[in-house]
Amino acid sequence: MNPFSTIGIFSKREGKAVEATLHTLHQFLTERGVKILASGAPAKILQLPETDEHQIAQQADLAIVVGGDGTLLNAGRLLSTYNLPIVGVNLGRLGFLVDVSPDEMTHQLEEILQGQYHEEQRCLLYAEVYRGQQTLGAGTALNDIVLHSRNEIRMIEFTTCIDGSFVTTQRADGIVVATPTGSTAYSLSSGGPILHPSLEATVLVPICPHTLSNRPLVVNSKSTIEISLCSQRPVDSRVSFDGHNNIELISGDKIIIRAYQEKMHLLHPQNYDYYHILRSKLHWGTQL
């Protein structure tokens, strides 16, 4: 029996590969009697009635995301709130999350619809931003929450505390606070470690620190991380959530980061191998 009778489709907005994959996916699901819900680009391309994304999240048993990691990140932040499992079909380039190939999509989805899949849960981060007692905003991130300068290349001075304990005051171009999922994104390019997705951990990676002894720090995901901009060095900056939803900051502002209460549920084909993805995407073992 198919455990997924209603499926929501999310995708990138444009491109011949997107359209071709969506039509193949639509035909595959229709032939199996699956109810299909779509909004935005998929609804337009497939000429389906448009359904609000939140309604899809509430009504569907499974979400299929067609695109790259960025597309899945956008969908994941929404769908994690509803504990809706996600399958990613890879139309991107360097992707660590979307691992179903369009060429093998129908075969792999057939197995998934029959309940043959590997499931994992991915942590998210949640941050609130304060100016004194005023709340400037809040947001969630599947990859990372990043503090960085706003309009010019200047070092920011900030203090970091973890679970109420002072850690350090440092000058840097910023700091990346990443989940294990985000450890292969901006964090990795900033010199951070790769964290296995199963770890309940958060990594703090300074961006081009003034003092080279400032190194990445891995803490328990249950920790509360507080980053305060020092008033002695007034540099306009911003905090970004997965590269989006920027909140503008001034000296004295504070960011409080915690683990988000919900997790993203990601389904993979049965032959899923995280280390194979690392070898493939990072070209480990390649003879030059």
* Whether residue 105 is found in the same domain as residue 218: no
Do 164 and 74 sit in the same domain of this protein? no
Same domain, 130 and 239: yes
Both 254 and 154 in a single domain?
yes
69 catalytically annotated: yes
The verdict on 185 and 268 lying in the same domain is no
Q: Is the pLDDT of residue 30 over 70?
A: yes
Q: How confident is the model at residue 288 (pLDDT cuts 50, 70, 90)?
A: low
Residues 114 and 195 in one domain: no
Residue 61's domain comprises 6-122+263-282
Write down the catalytic residue from 52, 61, 69, 273: 69
Range 106-110, long-range pairs (CB < 8 A, 24+ positions)? 106/24, 106/28, 108/269, 109/25, 109/28, 109/64
Amino acid 206: pLDDT: 97
Residue 228 lies in a domain: yes
The rounded distance, in Å, linking the Cα atoms of 230 and 169 is: 9
Do 139 and 249 fall within a single domain? yes
Domain tally, the chain: 2
Question: Would you say residue 288 lies in a domain?
Answer: no
H-helix or E-strand containing 185?
none
- Give the mean pLDDT of 273-282: 90
Do residues 116 and 93 share a domain? yes
| CATH number for the domain that contains residue 44 | 3.40.50.10330
In the chain, % of residues over pLDDT 70: 98
Give the C-alpha separation, 111 to 5, whole Å. 14
Residue 1 confidence (pLDDT) above 60: no
Backbone angles phi, psi at 274, to 5 degrees: -60, -40
pLDDT at 76: 94
Average pLDDT estimate for 214-236: 92
Average pLDDT, the chain: 93
The domain that holds 184 is classified in CATH as 2.60.200.30
Residue 62: per-residue pLDDT: 97
Q: What is the mean pLDDT of residues 163-168?
A: 98
Percent of the chain with pLDDT over 90: 81
What integer is the mean pLDDT of 203-223?
95
Phi, psi of 177 (to 5 degrees): -110, 110
Same domain, 84 and 172: no
pLDDT tens, residue by residue, 67-108:
999 999 999 999 999 999 999 999 877 678 888 988 999 999
* Lowest-confidence segment of 100-104, 120-124, 180-184 by average pLDDT: 100-104
Q: Are residues 72 and 100 in the same domain?
A: yes
pTM score: 0.93
